[in-house]
Amino acid sequence: MKTVQTVAGPVSVEALGSVLMHEHICASSMGVATHYPKLYRADYEDRIIRDLEDMRDNGVSAVVDAAPVCLGRDVRLLKRSGGRTGVHIIATSGRLGRFHLACDVERRTDTRWRPVEARETVLCPGVTVLNLGSGHSYGMLGMLAELKEGNFLLVFDAVYSAAHFGPPAQPAGVMWDEAGYFAAIAYLRTCAAEHGAKIICGHDMAQVQSLKDCYE
């Protein structure tokens, strides 16, 4: 039986269910504290529980917490949160840095991974990977999906929410490259206009709910 190591121990792959692949359940960097001071109220842990319960009640049963050590990784808090909500939490490890790319790609010989070099790479008809460069972190990617229901730009962590996208564009709580972050937003505006695409941000719950209501 194949298993995945969670903060509470190994869990079978079949039991994971629907997984959010890149989240930050807790964060404590200086940038986040500066832009979002309300995150650090006394009910911090209780609000994490409420958010996890909301995700669970909407069909998410597992979360990959991608916070590195330098972003406030707290496995004890993650374990308590998973235990209280029944959500499987997988904690990654390491430091936030450019060397991740070289390590991940070069030492693996059993994959078909390829670095995305061009600004736009067509994976298949209707699906284009966008190289957004550095911004929130190093090597941000987006995706243009051209569907019969319409065209969508999935920007993932490059832009947190519609409020950050603007206009005017607002800074993220954590930015690896400030100039690159705002340049990516400018490029996404142009791309969206050219393709008549709707921007789908990485952490906009109101937007996710509106899409859920439209396509259920």
pLDDT tens digit sequence for 20-60: 888 888 876 655 666 666 666 678 889 899 999 999 998 89
- Determine the length of the chain: 216
Pairing mode of beta strands 9-12, 3-6: antiparallel
Could you tell me the CA-to-CA distances from 176 to 5, 111, 168 in Å, in that order? 29, 28, 20
Report how far Cα 155 is from the mean position of its chain's Cα atoms: 9
Split at pLDDT 50, 70, 90, the class of 209 is confident
Please check whether the domain covering 100-215 is classified as CATH 3.60.15.10: yes
Domain ranges of the chain: 3-91, 100-215
Q: State the average pLDDT for the chain.
A: 83
Question: What's the pLDDT score for residue 190?
Answer: 96
pLDDT of 132 > 90? The answer is yes
Residue 147 and residue 51: Cα distance in Å, rounded?
31
Packing angle between helix 44-57 and helix 75-85, nearest 10 degrees?
A: 50
**Which of these, 111, 192, 193, lies nearest to 153 by C-alpha position?**
192
pTM (2 d.p.): 0.61
pLDDT of 99 > 50? The answer is no
Residue 85 and residue 146: Cα distance in Å, rounded?
37
Judged on CB neighbours under 10 Å (0-12, 13-18, 19+), 149 is exposed
Residue 60 and residue 51: Cα distance in Å, rounded?
11
